[in-house]
Structure 1
């Protein structure tokens, strides 16, 4: 039996998983009286499962996407819920030039930042903080999906400087949480798997924000299906 924490940013991304696990969305617990993150706890396939969602920003009344909430959720998973296996599950943009398709689910073999540019000796590599995740390929084979590189930044759009770094790292996917979660789990040496479903084609014809909302339901449903398969397979690694 493992203590598995699933870190997710948005309620909509988590909804299919909660439905498959027969969890009532109203049964969420707060992780802290001062923080918006919420957690759902259950057991499935002989594992203790904690699903931590970033919650709603009390000031702006929108979902807490981005690196800062993801870091808090991950540290909470480790210190308060004793997670010994972490899954970051969510949606991402994909690059058509590298074969990404809407609704397709991937594992991630490499995480890297594209918006932490620190051109000082030693700090440049710290800024990009490239991390390798060897278990990604094993699970990709078991799940029958592909794996790739994901680049993380806190903006939905992509500046020319961001694009240069993303291209230099040959990223297949672009998101707002993965590399930050990788930094935390790297400190604690905890196995981490990233499962990402594509909502929009970054280098496509349509604006990212339009494609994101148009495809969010499909991408989240596909993500939920693979998440259940993944949890059932964890003991095989």
Structure 2
């Protein structure tokens, strides 16, 4: 195994509910964290390769999962700086902009990741606002695991307004979620390959109770995500070895 292959693979989750099946599947052990932040870190091993798994943790004030881009960026920095992973995977759930997608479909993002709600009407900041951060994608592995590709964008709202939906359509986004662009930005800074793997929980549309549909479908989608994530890691590690 080469030196890079001995570095851990990092997997990041925003919500504990998204992470729980995978943590159980790989018998992950919690690590002590010397930080005032609520981030949870776990370690596991797969085929002899170490895994570092992060969950953003519960907000101390509001007692809910620290979802969205702010916590994602902080967690990504902690993981990238502290563990120097060879690869980082953002695993989680998403909403389907593409009407052909169904609940529990799992996508491996194959196009640069954008923000759909960073509207900065200053010419020199337009591209910065969009992001377009690179991703790692292997078409052969995706096909072998029946993982569809797709275009993802991130924003800080679970639902969408008309302006968000218009931007999603302009970007050609198949799915939207609340963390991946922030993590991809940090991975680019650290020159670490980035994968986004997302399972659909709800359709994305205006005047729609996204929260209720998300909660109804979360458990089913997370089970699908965990299975595909485990299979993807097995395939990546086998090829690396």
Same structural fold, with TM-score higher than 0.5 when normalized by the shorter chain: yes
Alignment of 1:167-186 (within 5 A): 167-186=169-188
1:13 to 1, 5, 18: 18
Q: Once the 2 structures are TM-superposed, how far is the Cα of residue 83 of structure 1 from its aligned partner?
A: 1.0
Q: Once the 2 structures are TM-superposed, how far is the Cα of residue 139 of structure 1 from its aligned partner?
A: 3.6
RMSD: 1.7
What are the ranges of 5 or more consecutive residues in structure 1 without an aligned counterpart? none
Counterpart of 2:62?
60
Counterpart of 1:188?
190
**Match status 1:29 vs 2:31:** yes
TM-score, normalised by the number of residues in structure 1: 0.93
Helix, strand or coil at the partner of 1:151: strand
Structure 1 stretches of at least 4 aligned residues deviating more than 4 Å after TM superposition:
none
Q: Once the 2 structures are TM-superposed, how far is the Cα of residue 157 of structure 1 from its aligned partner?
A: 1.5
What are the ranges of 5 or more consecutive residues in structure 2 without an aligned counterpart? 1-5
Helix, strand or coil at the partner of 1:59: coil
Helix, strand or coil at the partner of 2:123: coil
Please list the CA deviations of residues 62-110 of structure 1 after superposition, one character each: whole Å capped at 9, or x if unmatched. Answer: 000000111111111111112111000000001243x211001000122
- Count of matched residue positions in the alignment of Structure 1 and Structure 2: 233
1:166 to 164, 168, 171: 168
Q: Once the 2 structures are TM-superposed, how far is the Cα of residue 142 of structure 1 from its aligned partner?
A: 3.1
Alignment of 1:85-124 (within 5 A): 85-97=87-99, 99-110=100-111, 111-124=113-126
Helix, strand or coil at the partner of 2:75: helix
Deviates more, 1:58-67 or 1:116-125: 116-125
TM-score, normalised by the number of residues in structure 2: 0.91
The question of whether the paired residues in 2 share the 8 Å contact of 1:92 and 1:196 is answered with: yes
Quickly say closer, same or farther: Cα 1:62–1:229, change in 2 above 3 A: same
Q: Once the 2 structures are TM-superposed, how far is the Cα of residue 30 of structure 1 from its aligned partner?
A: 4.7
Please list the CA deviations of residues 5-50 of structure 1 after superposition, one character each: whole Å capped at 9, or x if unmatched. Answer: 1010011001110111123xxx533534210101011111221101
